[in-house]
Chain A
């Protein structure tokens, strides 16, 4: 506390989030005057890297943006390029893409729930301390994560940066026999996921609610993964190709990641809470029941309860993966032909952390002229800052170290992936 009543809370290095970021909060006279989430992970320049490459390379190049959610990048890339070329991939190839995405949701959410987020609610510093107290609990998380990794390894060829995804489908599709062992493991994983929901629903949560504008995909019949219209709790309802008309990316000096806002209304939030809010009726009966039993059947407005929503989404992903495997008939061809044409294509899919938008300008010879990638963490930056401003306002009396700890937890509610968000050259980096 300085003589004029100004107080600065600085979290220099955010632990248990992906990538490097920091938070700067200024409090003057008991009032929060500034909240800045700084992302100093170096810029990635992927969009520039893609210019001049073959359109068929986009899924493999963009997969490298993230080691946690490479499937999301591959899925948004293939859908955007197929959209440009006027091709729709359906049937079992489409179902296999959904299965692959289920794998990523399971492994990413299990990692966040057990390894990164649960320590906050158990009052320990990290997952190692949980393992010392209750090794069986951590083993359950690892087993769940393994089930997701197994899907990706089986379908994607390897568990990190899968290599079997291509524009038009896959390089090779599995036989029914190859998917059978996955089904056995997923049936076990689904039970573990239900246990997980019960476990996290019993945590103590701060008494805190928020009503941001939630944005997610919505599909006529499915809980959204690869397709759907972009909808929001404020009535937005647009196609992926209308993204630029309604959303804008802006540079902010404090961050290497672009900030996204709705042109009409500003900050908005993507991710599990948004999906759950806008698509509860599309969850499987089992996942809906799990949500009701966990006390969030009527909705969830507490960002700290996002851990419960992630657990419910793990149940859904296991359930959905089992459905796809049960109905699977190997397609005759592993990929359909996608002839290039001079056009712009758009692809929005639901990454574990929320809406991931890709747009590509394809030349007639299949070269990429321009690429735009808008990851979920960029879209959530303003919402995170708004959230923290409101969260801190009721907690300014807390001592600095306690407030700092709670702010870190509030940021981890978003499972931010900072590596994904920094993809554009920043000329100024504010490190103060």
Chain B
């Protein structure tokens, strides 16, 4: 498997936690050749296998405690991912959250070199709630950045650490 992956992490019916899946659904038809767009939720340990062998990976997830709702954070695995990614309270500890999976993956040497994480700060995470206005308003900017990232990875350009 030598694809580029876009992975949207989150629950589609939990308010702003849906931002990852929402991005995947929004760009799925428009991704560059060689990009697979996948929604992921529940047991994120599966990511360690999902992205094994991938040429490049972009992950989108909701964050908490990283600033104003709608704020976009870009992280690469060279940085400590958990610094900007707080676990929403309802995420169970049985299913490891993204920050823990990244930490575990790093310890096991199972994080792809070309991995970029986009965090979008959420405002609400209640069951059955839609995206907040702030996150909905941030969607076009996230889509722009993610598409640029995917095009770069699909073309085989190295990751640029802008932060």
Q: Contact check: which of A15, A135, A145, A417 meets B108 at CB < 8 Å?
A: A135
By a CB distance below 8 angstroms, the chain B residues around A138 are: 104, 107-108
Q: Fill in one digit per residue for A93-137: 1 if any B CB lies within 8 Å of its CB, else 0.
A: 000000000000000000100011000000000111001100100
The residue among B43, B45, B90, B94 with the most chain A CB atoms within 10 A of its own CB is B94
Q: Fill in one digit per residue for B86-118: 1 if any A CB lies within 8 Å of its CB, else 0.
A: 000110111110001001100111000000000
Question: What is the count of residue pairs linking A and B with beta-carbon distances less than 8 angstroms?
Answer: 53
How far, in angstroms, from A18 to B94 measured CA to CA in the complex? 5
Name B50-102 residues within 8 Å CB distance of A: 89-90, 92-96, 100
Name A405-422 residues within 8 Å CB distance of B: 417, 419
By a CB distance below 8 angstroms, the chain A residues around B95 are: 67-68
Whether A19 sits at the interface, judged by CB under 8 Å, is: yes
Cβ contact within 8 Å between B48 and A142: yes
Cβ contact within 8 Å between B94 and A116: yes
By a CB distance below 8 angstroms, the chain B residues around A111 are: 45, 94
How far, in angstroms, from A18 to B91 measured CA to CA in the complex? 9
Whether B140 sits at the interface, judged by CB under 8 Å, is: no
Cβ contact within 8 Å between A67 and B43: yes
How far, in angstroms, from A15 to B92 measured CA to CA in the complex? 9
Whether A20 sits at the interface, judged by CB under 8 Å, is: yes
Whether A31 sits at the interface, judged by CB under 8 Å, is: no
How far, in angstroms, from A17 to B49 measured CA to CA in the complex? 24
Whether A51 sits at the interface, judged by CB under 8 Å, is: no
Closest to B93 in A: A16
Whether A250 sits at the interface, judged by CB under 8 Å, is: no
Cβ contact within 8 Å between B92 and A18: yes
By a CB distance below 8 angstroms, the chain B residues around A16 are: 93
By a CB distance below 8 angstroms, the chain A residues around B137 are: none
Cβ contact within 8 Å between A126 and B100: yes
By a CB distance below 8 angstroms, the chain A residues around B43 are: 67-68, 159-160
Whether A146 sits at the interface, judged by CB under 8 Å, is: yes
14 contacts between A and B (CB under 8 A): A17-B94, A20-B89, A20-B90, A67-B43, A67-B95, A68-B43, A68-B94, A68-B95, A126-B100, A128-B107, A138-B104, A138-B108, A145-B45, A146-B49
Please give the residue numbers on chain A whose beta carbons come within 8 Å of chain B beta carbons, in ascending order: 15-20, 42, 67-68, 111, 115-116, 126-128, 131-132, 135, 138-139, 142, 145-146, 149, 159-160, 417, 419
Please give the residue numbers on chain B whose beta carbons come within 8 Å of chain A beta carbons, in ascending order: 42-43, 45-46, 48-49, 89-90, 92-96, 100, 103-104, 107-109, 127
